[in-house]
Amino acid sequence: MNLQILLESILVGIYSMLLSIIVLQIFNFPLVFNIFIIGFLKHYIGGIVGLQHYYCSMSIKCNKFNLDYLILESIGEGFLFLMTYFILSKFVGERIYINFFMIGILLHVTFEELNGHSLFCKTHCSEIV
């Protein structure tokens, strides 16, 4: 793993942790539902504010970014957060904010290593320069 991926992963971890602090202060739902909301919002907000387009533009020069499946993808990320949270909590315990920081890092590194981000960018950039 190179330094850029490590730094990106740490930033994603911080983003996930900050989002968890905000969501857990606003919503008084059971933890399971809040975990899903945090994963959903992480992906959804990233799409709306252009983080995903920016990320993809760094690697393949993406002119037009397609958000047609943003809600469906966000639901998928919500479920990924749920699964990862419960697996992680078996090893490190219920350290809620630390768990969200680690989820952000683990999912980012995993998708990077499995070329998931590359595939994501190629399928979402409808005009590649």
What number is the average pLDDT over the span 92-114?
Answer: 93
Q: How confident is the model at residue 129 (pLDDT cuts 50, 70, 90)?
A: low
Give strand ranges (E) for the chain. 62-65, 125-128
- In angstroms, the first-to-last Cα distance of the chain is 27
Q: How far is CA 17 from the centre of its chain?
A: 11
pTM (predicted TM-score): 0.90
What number is the average pLDDT over the span 11-19?
Answer: 96
What does the pLDDT read at residue 126?
72
Burial class (CB within 10 angstroms; exposed 0-12, middle 13-18, buried 19+) of 55: middle
What number is the average pLDDT over the span 19-45?
Answer: 95
d(C-alpha 99, C-alpha 93), whole Å: 8
